[in-house]
Amino acid sequence: MPSPSHSSPGRRRAWRAATPVVVLLSGALFAVSAEQSDGFDLRGGRLTDLASVVRAERDEAGDLTTQVAALNAEVEALSTSLGDRSVGRVQDEIATLVDPAGLTEKSGPAVQVTLDDASMEARLAYEGDPGDLVVHQQDIQAVANAMWNAGAVAVTIQGQRLISTTGIKCEGNQVTLHGLPYSPPYVIVGIGDPARLEAELGTDPILATYRDYTDIPGGGVSWEMTPLESAVAPAYDGLLDLTYATPMTD
C-alpha cells in the first residue's frame, strides 16, 4: 500500500494539466475587467463618484433655494413700497386706454360704404388707364380717414376692426388687412353720428375724385353709402407687437 503522504502519479499528472488552464482563465478574466473598468475601480470608484455627484447637486439645490427665497422677499418688498394707490392708478390708466385702442367691442348707429371694381367687360372696353376702374388701397384708406375725421368711435373693413397700427396694403387685385387678403367688394363701416359721417364722406376731396370714375360710360367703379340703425365692431384680437427694421452693425 502506498504511503498517504505521497500522491499517486495519475493525480500529479492531472494537476499539471489543469494548472495552465486555470492560469489562462484567470488572465482572461483580468483582461475583461480591465477593459470594462476603463482604468477605474469597478466597485469603489463608481460608488465614490456617485456620492460626490449627489453631494454637489444637493449643494447646488440649496444655493438655488436660498436665491429663490431672497428674490421672493425682494418682490414682496417692492410690491409693498408700490402701494395700493399706485397699482390702482396703473389699472385705471389701462382701462382708459383699452377702449380707444380698439380692444373692446363697440356698437351703435353707423354708416356703411361699399366700394367695388368695374365689371370686366367695362374694363376691357375702357380706353383709358385700366387702373381707373379698380379700387385701390388709397380709396379704402380715404373712406376710413373720413370716418375718423367725422368722429367715428370704431371703423371696420370687411368686418375687421381697425386700430392705430393697421396697415392697408394692395397686392395685385386684392387688399391685405392684418395679414389676410380680401377681394372686392370692400365694405367699410363707421360707427358714430350718421349725419356727421355722411357729410364728411360726401365732401372729402379724395373720395370726390373716386366718385368721378363711377360715371364712366359703360360702367365705372361703384360707390354705395348706406346709413345703418345699428352696427357692431368687434374688439381687435390680433397681435399688438410692432415689427420694425433695425440698423445693421458693422
For residues 146 and 200, is the Cβ–Cβ distance under 8 A? yes
* 246 vs 129, more confident: 129
For residues 239 and 163, is the Cβ–Cβ distance under 8 A? no
Domains annotated on the chain, with CATH: 106-233 (3.30.70.1880)
Q: Given this model, what pLDDT does residue 146 score?
A: 96
When pLDDT is averaged across residues 130-153 and rounded to a whole number, the result is: 92
Q: Given this model, what pLDDT does residue 45 score?
A: 47
For residues 196 and 151, is the Cβ–Cβ distance under 8 A? yes
C-alpha–C-alpha distance, residues 186 and 174, integer Å: 10
User: Cell 390708466 belongs to which residue?
Assistant: 93
- Its sign, for the CA torsion 103, 106, 110, 114, is positive
- For the chain, percent of residues with pLDDT exceeding 70: 66
C-alpha cell at 181: 387678403
Q: Given this model, what pLDDT does residue 148 score?
A: 94
Q: What is the DSSP string of 49-81?
A: HHHHHHHHHHHHHHHHHHHHHHHHHHHHHHHHH
* 12 vs 190, more confident: 190
When pLDDT is averaged across residues 104-112 and rounded to a whole number, the result is: 93
Q: What separation in angstroms does the CA of 182 have from each of 71, 114, 167, 175, 246? A: 51, 13, 13, 5, 30
**What's the predicted TM-score (pTM) here?**
0.59
C-alpha–C-alpha distance, residues 168 and 154, integer Å: 16
- Give 3-state DSSP helix, strand, coil % of the chain, rounded to 5: 50, 20, 30
pLDDT tens, residue by residue, 144-187? 999 999 999 999 999 989 887 777 887 767 888 877 888 899 99
At residue 84, does pLDDT exceed 70?
no
Res. 193 pLDDT band, cuts 50 70 90: very high
- Its sign, for the CA torsion 212, 213, 219, 223, is negative
Q: Given this model, what pLDDT does residue 104 score?
A: 80
pLDDT tens, residue by residue, 10-59? 555 555 555 665 555 666 565 555 555 555 444 444 445 666 776 777 77
- Residue 240 has phi, psi (to 5 degrees) of -105, -10
